[in-house]
Structure 1
Amino acid sequence: MSKPAPASANRLDKWLWAVRVFKTRSLATDACRAGSVEINDQPAKPAREVRSGEQVKVRQGVVTRTLAVVAVPPARVGARLVATYCTELTPPEEFEKAREQRVQHFLAREKGSGRPTKRDRRLIDHLLES
């Protein structure tokens, strides 16, 4: 049994799902419709075709991930193979911004709103250590 050859182009929503940016294809479609996905700095619809060499920007929360399309997979690929189909160009500051927001969320507790649960304390300790 041989592997199918990589496609030259594929739908944007299918590509985002195949390279594991989104957990489901419908989430990828919804993100495209909401305007959270751009190709070469242009808003993109879910049916737009993605080709190698293009740059895809995906806004997920406070992070805007930038991905370079290396190749178009024929189907969803395993996590280990994602690097053969796209390159992560997102600056580390973007991921740091998301981490800071998570820390602020847990530290911005209203005074007197109750004692943190054991799970909350462990999570706060984990966030403060890293």
Structure 2
Amino acid sequence: MDSVRMDKWLWAARFFKTRALAAQSCELGRITSNDHQAKAARDVRVGDLLRVKNEGGLFEVEVLGLSSVRGPAATAQALYRETEASKVARAKAEEERKAMAEFELPTGRPNKKDRRTISKFRGRVIGF
């Protein structure tokens, strides 16, 4: 086997839970292959550089192996190698998500003190 459909490979490599989700991501332009937007029926070959955007983040991977069947996670991880730049970017995004989770939004309507703080933050001056 020298090539596999894009949606099958993404599913076999466990980037998506179903082939339908993989195909839908291709249609939405979330998958690029060698800097070209990929369609679900596009062939994936060993050595291709893929950029995959899913709920886990943005992955930049090099295809190392081909498979059209979904197997264990260890087998799926052997199908590709993530670039170092991608690993760093995903770690940074994860750190930012954790920082945002610590930020607590106030509940309810702002009181007078909160409104004044918001106005100061926006650069507005209230009163004389």
Unaligned 5+ segments in structure 2 are 109-128
Root-mean-square deviation (CA, aligned residues, Å) is: 2.0
1:62–1:54 Cα change, 3 Å:
same
| 4+ long deviations beyond 6 Å | none
Q: Which residue of 2 aligns with 1:40?
A: 34
Unaligned 5+ segments in structure 1 are 1-6, 115-130
CA contact (8 A) 2:7 2:40 kept: yes
Q: Distance in 2 between matches of 1:18 and 1:32?
A: 15
How does the TM-score come out when normalised to structure 2? 0.73
How big is the shift at 1:90?
Answer: 4.9
How big is the shift at 1:76?
Answer: 1.1
Q: Which residue of 1 aligns with 2:54?
A: 60
Pairing 1:11–2:5 present:
yes
Q: Distance in 2 between matches of 1:99 and 1:83?
A: 20
How does the TM-score come out when normalised to structure 1? 0.72
Q: Distance in 1 between matches of 2:78 and 2:54?
A: 22
Q: Percent identity?
A: 33
How big is the shift at 1:70?
Answer: 1.1
